């Protein structure tokens, strides 16, 4: 498990820790073969955007906007010590890549935004408005902190966020609509 030997790893990593592991993932994928496109969602925009104190034990990959060979990605992830798409149980102090499909999680339609390339590994994310809309579905304390950071850092169109929320299927749309009140409360005051 190469990734664990290079740094003192815990289950919660900041953006720098995840950047190191993604670099190792890129190396484990090798240089031969097609590009591996991962669309990172949820905490990724905060982790890689420099949000102070933000950590995560996982990186969520939005499967519909990603393009990869599952077996190749799994082998590379396991080679560096990451769990790959665990469904039953997690291991303490072991970060993981989680594949996410539409269901309780919703993002609406979007064109992925390029973030970075590391060898064959290409990283993308949804537009900030879609990430905020997705976080409004649950609106847990950590989600609200993320929303505040994303609004302050990126100054997204709050009307676009509302439009994305209205495109969600039920029940996610209803939950997010109830939480739209947070948009005005979390935007920076002039």
pLDDT in tens, 84-120: 999 887 787 889 999 999 998 999 999 999 999 999 9
* Residue 148, H or E segment: helix 141-154
Burial 128-154 (b: 16+ CB within 10 A, else e): bbbbbbbbbbbbeeebbbbbbbbbeee
Mean pLDDT of 5-24: 80
Domain boundary among 126, 155, 176: 126
pLDDT score for 93: 80
Q: Tell me the per-residue pLDDT of 36-67, one tens digit each, with 9 for 90 and over.
A: 999 999 999 899 988 999 999 999 999 999 99
pLDDT score for 123: 97
Q: How many domains does the chain have?
A: 2
Indicate whether 55 and 94 sit together in one domain: yes
Adjacent-strand bridge partners of 121: 36, 118
Indicate whether 111 and 164 sit together in one domain: no
Indicate whether 52 and 119 sit together in one domain: yes
**Separation in Å, CA 91 to CA 1, 38, 41, 61, 176:** 14, 23, 22, 19, 31
pLDDT score for 89: 77
Structural domain including 138 reads 130-186
Reply yes or no on whether the pLDDT at 175 is more than 60: yes
Indicate whether 145 and 67 sit together in one domain: no
Q: Token digits for 77?
A: 């992830």
Is 149 within 8 Å of 43 (Cβ atoms)? no
User: Which of the four pLDDT bands, split at 50, 70 and 90, describes residue 11?
Assistant: confident
């Amino acid at each position: 498990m190469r990734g664990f030997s290079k740094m003192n790893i815990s289950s919660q990593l900041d953006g720098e820790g995840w950047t190191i592991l993604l670099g190792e993932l890129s190396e484990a994928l090798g240089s031969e073969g097609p590009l591996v496109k991962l669309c990172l969602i949820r905490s990724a925009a905060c982790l890689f955007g420099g949000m102070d104190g933000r950590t995560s034990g996982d990186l969520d990959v939005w499967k519909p906007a990603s393009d990869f060979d599952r077996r190749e990605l799994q082998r590379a992830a396991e080679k560096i010590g990451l769990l790959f798409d665990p469904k039953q149980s997690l291991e303490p102090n072991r970060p993981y890549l989680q594949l996410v499909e539409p269901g309780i999680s919703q993002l609406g339609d979007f064109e992925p935004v390029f973030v970075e390339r590391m060898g064959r590994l290409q990283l993308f994310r949804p537009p900030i408005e879609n990430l905020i809309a997705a976080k409004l579905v649950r609106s847990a304390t950590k989600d609200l902190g993320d929303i505040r950071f994303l609004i302050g850092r990126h100054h997204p169109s709050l009307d676009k966020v509302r439009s994305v929320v209205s495109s969600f299927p039920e029940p996610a749309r209803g939950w997010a609509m109830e939480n739209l009140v947070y948009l005005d409360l979390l935007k920076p005051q002039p």
